[in-house]
């Protein structure tokens, strides 16, 4: 009987960064600015997902490939992360995502009746998109606007408590473009565009990246020693 040769556990293959082909030059430029703020490029994954949604309204498979190349992970890891968060959509949504909160404070304030009215007037159930692609209706958990029940958000902007009548008026205003100034198309977040409040000292970023690399190398060395 021959002695079997120990086989080392396969290490994660190094990912060759691929040039973005789907995201626009403007989006990629901002993505690189965001990546530069973090010790690890992959830490910018979620902000980059929001940027991609700014372009397409949702996270397309092509955008996920670009994001993966930009931060050094696989497209599957982008999908695995994005699918965890309600604000990130991995399937097509309407220009306006209208979320009706049905958590306790809003439920007591008539949310169930409002959602039922919204489904009837839009002709889609919660989770559905109107045939013209304008509105996706969502049933949401607490949106942190409990004192204005029943709370409604459109594209993550608060629009205050709604009655069935005011809801219909809101939808009319969205369709006519009358709310374009305060409610941009789905995916547009100020957070990934602001230029103040998230600035970082470049020297500090370099130092944090070095420390992170050292810590990673130490973990890998300890892992190799433990498996010997
Ligand atoms: S319960 Fe509806 S916003 Fe909090």
Q: What residue segments make up the domains of the chain, in order of their start?
A: 25-90+190-221, 96-176
Report the pLDDT value the prediction gives residue 195, as an integer from 0 to 100. 63
Mean pLDDT of the chain: 87
- Residue ranges lining ligand 1, Cβ < 6 Å: 101, 103-106, 142-146, 149, 151
Kind and range of the H or E run holding 98? strand 96-101
Answer whether residue 184 shows pLDDT above 60.
Answer: yes
Is pLDDT larger for residue 193 or for residue 88? 88
Answer whether residue 53 shows pLDDT above 90.
Answer: yes
b/e for 52-62, b at 16 or more Cβ within 10 A?
bbbbbbbbbee
pTM of this structure: 0.76
Contact between residue 114 and residue 56 where contact means Cβ atoms under 8 Å apart: no
Q: Mean per-residue pLDDT for 120-145?
A: 95
Architecture of the 25-90+190-221 domain: Orthogonal Bundle (1.10)
User: For a pLDDT cut of 70, what percent of the chain falls above it?
Assistant: 88
How remote is the CA of residue 64 from the centroid of ligand 1, in Å? 32
Report the pLDDT value the prediction gives residue 224, as an integer from 0 to 100. 79
Report the pLDDT value the prediction gives residue 30, as an integer from 0 to 100. 92
Rounded CA gap, 128 and 54, in Å? Answer: 21
Indicate the class that CATH gives domain 96-176: alpha beta
Cite the beta strand spans of 125-217 per DSSP E. 135-140, 151-154, 157-161
Mutate to test the pocket of ligand 1, among 86, 99, 105 (most ligand atoms within 8 A of CB): 105
Rounded CA gap, 149 and 100, in Å? Answer: 10
Report the pLDDT value the prediction gives residue 227, as an integer from 0 to 100. 52
């Amino acid at each position: 009987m021959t002695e079997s040769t120990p086989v080392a556990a396969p290490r994660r293959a190094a990912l060759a960064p691929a040039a973005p082909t789907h995201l626009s030059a403007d989006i990629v430029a901002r993505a690189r600015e965001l990546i530069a703020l973090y010790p690890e490029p992959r830490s910018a994954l979620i902000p980059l997902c929001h940027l991609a949604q700014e372009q397409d309204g949702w996270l397309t498979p092509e955008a996920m490939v670009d994001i993966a190349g930009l931060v050094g992970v696989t497209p599957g890891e982008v999908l695995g992360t994005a699918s965890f968060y309600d604000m990130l959509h991995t399937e097509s949504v309407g220009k306006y995502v209208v979320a009706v909160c049905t958590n306790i404070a809003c439920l007591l304030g008539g949310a169930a009746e409002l959602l039922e009215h919204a489904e009837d007037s839009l002709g889609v159930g919660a989770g559905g998109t109107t045939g013209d692609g304008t509105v996706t209706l969502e049933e949401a958990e607490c949106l942190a606007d409990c004192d204005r029940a029943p709370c409604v958000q459109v594209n993550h902007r608060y629009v205050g408590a709604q009655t069935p009548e005011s809801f219909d008026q809101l939808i009319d205003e969205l369709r006519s473009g009358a709310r374009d100034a305060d409610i941009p198309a789905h995916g547009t977040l100020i957070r990934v565009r602001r230029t103040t409040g998230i600035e970082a000292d470049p020297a500090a970023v370099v130092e944090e990246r070095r420390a992170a690399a050292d810590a990673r190398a130490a973990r890998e060395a300890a892992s190799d020693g433990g498996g010997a």
